[in-house]
Structure 1
Amino acid sequence: MGKKAILIGALDTKGLEFQFVKDALQACGTDTFVIDTGVLGDPLFEPDVSADEVARAGGSSIEELRTQNDRGTAVAVMTQGAANIAVQLEKKGIVGGMLGMGGTAGTTVAASAMQALPIGVPKLLVSTVASGNTRPYVGVKDIMMMYSVVDIAGINRLSRRILSNAAYALAGMIRHTGLEQETADEKVTLGITMFGVTTPCATRVREILEKKGYDLLVFHATGTGGLAMEELIKAGYIKGVADITTTELADELVGGIFSAGPNRLEAAGAAGIPQVVSVGALDMVNFGPPDTVPAPFKERIFYQHNPTTTLMRTTVSENRELGRILADKLNKGTAPTIVVFPKAGVSLLDIAGKAFEGKEERCALYEGIKQHLRSDIPMIEMEQDINGPAVADVIAEHLLKLLEHKKEG
């Protein structure tokens, strides 16, 4: 069985639209495979996976869901079932790409299936909510969301164009998936974390490692960036990390908008891959526009990075706790690990004469790490700030050594 375009959605209420997309894909020469997630009634056409099969994969049945007549329960069951079905199909090797469409419920169900697929598999979601907050649907996966403009309710002059575009986009992605592998070499892939205020360091490290023949993935440490990197570590794509910018720990601790959750900085340790870790941008917590900063913080030190991003300086006590958190996370891992601590500043703002210059804060951060870090994990102290060329050179040099040692072992 070859690769197919997997269509997922409610064939009872959106059957006409899915039939249109199915026909458009097949006209492009793309085979289709349809998963029905409709709960209310019978499908407009026969799917390859029935709604009852999806419900049973989610721990219930269509009959039970119809008897309960509770929308929230139905969506939860079908969401879980869709994800489980997607995993099964991926294991069978038939998923060339996936396309879903719907409103809030249909988007939720289809997104769960897409999030269960590996990064790199084409995923396209036509949705009435694609112009709003898409993070709950996209998560850390490469899901492309297309705003439907009008409700997905019938084939009309506008929906015909939009759904055709969606079908042609998926067909093109499926057709060309894998072509990049024909020219790709066997480079080892590494991850780097970066923020605007640690860009000079991350850029120099990346350039050094690229010259040594490594393939570098750079992640913007905005919460989703850290999560995406750790998802790729778990999936086995990334074989080593220069975790220069651990700022997401500060947002998790203090309540900023760029938290990567409670498990950030743990994936590399659990996977046993080499990592060099630093303290980039732990001088700041991120908020939106000034009027979104919580009232309890109003007396703190702020820097207006741009109209939509307000940075707040971390305190001495917060830095001491961040040091402990960072050390505890590294202590739990089995990975070859080195910490690099730049004593003259952890960002472009935490240097002499800049808004977040903080010797006491850095000292507290250093003490928090030093007091709790396992004795067998080296911490290299640098007199420069994090963006000094010497710091980048040390980070790159030691990651290369760890990688070489791992290869020899």
Structure 2
Amino acid sequence: MTGKAYVIGTCDTKGPELRYACDLLEAAGITPVLVDIGIRSDGTGVDITAMEVAGHHPWGIDAVFVDDRGQAVTAMAQALQRFLPAQPDLGGVLGMGGSGGTAMIAPALQELDVGIPKVLVSTVASGNVAPYVGPADIAMMPSVTDVAGLNRISRRVLGNAAHALAGMLASPVPVATDDKPAIGLTMFGVTTACVGQVTERLEAQYDCLVFHAVGTGGQSMEKLVDSRMLAGVLDITTTEVCDLLMGGVFSAGEGRLDAIARTGVPYVGSCGALDMVNFGAPETVPEHYRGRTFYEHNPQVTLMRTTPEENARMGHWIGEKLNRCPGKMRFLLPEGGVSAIDAPGQPFHDPEADAALFQALEHTVVESDDRRVIRLPYNVNDRAFAEALIEHFHEIANVE
């Protein structure tokens, strides 16, 4: 067992609940550290006071302890983001709270490395948790009742959360003995054939981490890039850009590709699934898109074919991002189609739209010996295209 269990919440409103979890952790043989983030707490009976946490805010404690509650909550969240990763004895975290507490705790948990145990009991855990989980491995547990007093329900829920964290700390995952470097690959259902061929060829040399390009997938991959945990990236499926620019449901945000630029990690990218914007069931498609070309992937996912104008916009957006990348990079353009359903006879086959995408990329990217855009006469899922991806990755990663 390594590290202590940091138990975090607002002790001015949830003191008994937090101490209950600490008692259970201690009974399980885990050393708890009670961290108070209560804006109105007096610091009694805690291991780390709210004042100590607030001291980590870039502007000091005066930025946190203000009369405006919303401003204070935001500032405390920022302070906790800086405080938590700096603790050398941190083994795992148990947070609990309502909407305010969750908003303060979750951003700090996102700052921690993947693999550090993170459990967050929250009143908002049964809704859309994407803003709270983000690209991290946070286990959110619905509190069922409000986190407001100990009762027959809250004792069970908080107890289960405490015991879950205790189990994670008491039985750590064995460290992998495989010393192969890790690389990130992005995949969608319509690019699975390509990614499968690439991983099959590279898995003897690399630990291949495949990320589902549904927004959090791209974010998670780039978090690992920023953490220097990936030796290279094969970003075959950049479809999250479609949803960012056209309002789909799988956007990875404006920060997509920024980690590549920040780190200079060896990067081979492509246009996988840039032919589609993702929506939910058909009735969820925005009214202004009525009359477009759609494909029902399943009852819960409706795909919309991108137009030449939209593709040109995406090509320019991606190209501008690639221009900021200082490392070695290649971006491959599959002239035979960017997805399994963008091929002759398939519902999204549209050579004019693809051409607009490729031309925008070529016109935007400033090429050099290290930064190249390469056209290939294949569909993204053709074996020859997978071979080209591998060849170019070996070239820039200096692998024989």
1:40–1:266: structure 2 CA closer, same or farther, 3 Å change rule?
closer
> Match for residue 100 of structure 1?
95
> Match for residue 262 of structure 2?
270
Structure 2 counterparts to residues 6-405 of structure 1, below 5 A: 6-42=6-42, 46-58=45-57, 59=59, 61=61, 65=65, 68=67, 70-89=68-87, 93-177=88-172, 179-181=173-175, 183-211=176-204, 213-376=205-368, 377-404=371-398
C-alpha distance in 2 between matches for 1:289 and 1:150: 31
C-alpha distance in 2 between matches for 1:84 and 1:26: 26
Deviations 1:295-344 (A, max 9, x none): 11112111111122111111011112222222222122111111211111
C-alpha distance in 2 between matches for 1:22 and 1:190: 38
Q: Which amino acid aligns with 1:347?
A: S
Q: Give SS of 1:46's match.
A: coil
Q: Give SS of 1:171's match.
A: helix
Is this contact kept in 1: 2:63–2:72, CA < 8 A?
A: no
C-alpha distance in 1 between matches for 2:336 and 2:63: 66
Percent identity (aligned): 45
C-alpha distance in 2 between matches for 1:34 and 1:62: 23
Q: Give SS of 1:164's match.
A: helix
1:60 offset after TM fit, Å?
A: 5.8
Q: Which amino acid aligns with 1:193?
A: T
Deviations 1:132-158 (A, max 9, x none): 011111111111101111112222222
1:112 offset after TM fit, Å?
A: 2.3
Q: Give SS of 2:185's match.
A: strand
Normalising by structure 2, report the TM-score.
Answer: 0.94
Deviations 1:341-396 (A, max 9, x none): 11111001111111111011111112112222223233332222111111111112
C-alpha distance in 2 between matches for 1:379 and 1:87: 39
Is this contact kept in 2: 1:189–1:214, CA < 8 A?
A: yes
Is this contact kept in 1: 2:41–2:50, CA < 8 A?
A: no
C-alpha distance in 2 between matches for 1:145 and 1:254: 30
Is this contact kept in 1: 2:7–2:18, CA < 8 A?
A: yes
Moved more, 161-170 or 249-258: 249-258
Q: Which amino acid aligns with 1:28?
A: A
C-alpha distance in 1 between matches for 2:61 and 2:361: 52
C-alpha distance in 1 between matches for 2:372 and 2:60: 52
Is this contact kept in 2: 1:51–1:62, CA < 8 A?
A: no
1:381–1:13: structure 2 CA closer, same or farther, 3 Å change rule?
same
Is this contact kept in 1: 2:34–2:47, CA < 8 A?
A: yes
For structure 1, which runs of at least 5 residues remain unmatched after alignment?
none
C-alpha distance in 2 between matches for 1:348 and 1:391: 13
Q: Give SS of 2:11's match.
A: coil
Moved more, 368-377 or 335-344: 368-377
Moved more, 54-63 or 354-363: 54-63
C-alpha distance in 1 between matches for 2:86 and 2:50: 15
Q: Which amino acid aligns with 1:318?
A: E
Is this contact kept in 1: 2:243–2:277, CA < 8 A?
A: yes
Is this contact kept in 1: 2:64–2:71, CA < 8 A?
A: no
Is this contact kept in 2: 1:98–1:123, CA < 8 A?
A: yes
C-alpha distance in 1 between matches for 2:326 and 2:63: 48
1:310–1:120: structure 2 CA closer, same or farther, 3 Å change rule?
same
1:19–1:270: structure 2 CA closer, same or farther, 3 Å change rule?
closer
Is this contact kept in 2: 1:60–1:77, CA < 8 A?
A: no
Q: Which amino acid aligns with 2:154?
A: S
Q: Give SS of 1:48's match.
A: coil
The size of the alignment, in residue pairs, is 396
Deviations 1:169-225 (A, max 9, x none): 101111233x421x42211000000001111101111111102x2001111111111
1:63–1:197: structure 2 CA closer, same or farther, 3 Å change rule?
closer
Q: Which amino acid aligns with 1:46?
A: G
Is this contact kept in 2: 1:266–1:330, CA < 8 A?
A: no
Is this contact kept in 1: 2:64–2:75, CA < 8 A?
A: no
For structure 2, which runs of at least 5 residues remain unmatched after alignment?
none
C-alpha distance in 2 between matches for 1:55 and 1:154: 26
